[in-house]
């Protein structure tokens, strides 16, 4: 398992996404459900880290919801930049935790493989020694 661990990031809106959001705007004071695209679909473990970090930072208020490669929040327009900054911060925290877990798993798998290889080598040497001592 030597693949590169790519962090999940919040992706900027496309022109069409911006147009759709603008078209659906009808009040400057109401809360809007805003979907932000992610650079990749997060694993359940990554979402768990994200939600844990969100709760630690912001409590249970306005918890983002995940669907595929999007994260949805409800906020007023006045607070949109703060929400985006919070999403980016928490995503970065989740990325760090997820990367650490993956790296630990890789280390454990490497150690397990090393132990298996050493056990096999020891067994092969013992077999060779036993065969070489045979007197026909």
Q: What angle do CA 37, 89, 17 make, to 5 degrees?
A: 20
Q: What are phi and psi of 134, to 5 degrees?
A: -65, 140
Q: Report, as an integer, the average pLDDT of 53-78.
A: 92
* DSSP reduced 3-state for 28: coil
Q: Report, as an integer, the average pLDDT of 12-35.
A: 93
Burial 45-71 (b: 16+ CB within 10 A, else e): ebbebbbebbeeeeeeeeebebeeebb
- Write the pLDDT tens digit of every residue in 41-62: 999 999 999 999 999 999 877 7
Who contacts 118 (Cβ-Cβ below 8 Å, separation ≥6)?
A: none
- State whether the Cα torsion 7-12-16-22 is positive or negative: positive
Please choose, from the candidates 100, 13, 97, 103, the residue with its C-alpha nearest in 3D space to the C-alpha of residue 54. 97
Residue 1: pLDDT over 50 = no
Domains observed in the chain? 10-105 (3.30.310)
Confidence of residue 3 (pLDDT cuts 50, 70, 90): low
């Amino acid at each position: 398992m030597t693949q590169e661990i790519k962090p999940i990031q919040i992706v900027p809106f496309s022109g069409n996404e911006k147009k759709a959001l603008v078209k659906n705007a009808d009040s400057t004071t109401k809360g809007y459900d805003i979907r932000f695209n992610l650079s990749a679909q997060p694993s359940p473990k990554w979402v768990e880290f994200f939600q844990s970090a969100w709760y630690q930072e912001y409590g249970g208020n306005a918890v983002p919801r995940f669907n595929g490669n999007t994260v949805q929040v409800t906020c007023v327009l006045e607070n949109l930049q703060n929400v985006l900054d919070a999403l980016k911060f928490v995503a970065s925290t989740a990325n760090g935790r997820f990367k650490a877990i993956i790296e630990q798993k890789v280390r454990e798998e490497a150690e397990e493989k090393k132990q298996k290889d050493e056990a096999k080598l020891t067994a092969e040497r013992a077999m060779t020694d036993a065969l070489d001592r045979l007197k026909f």
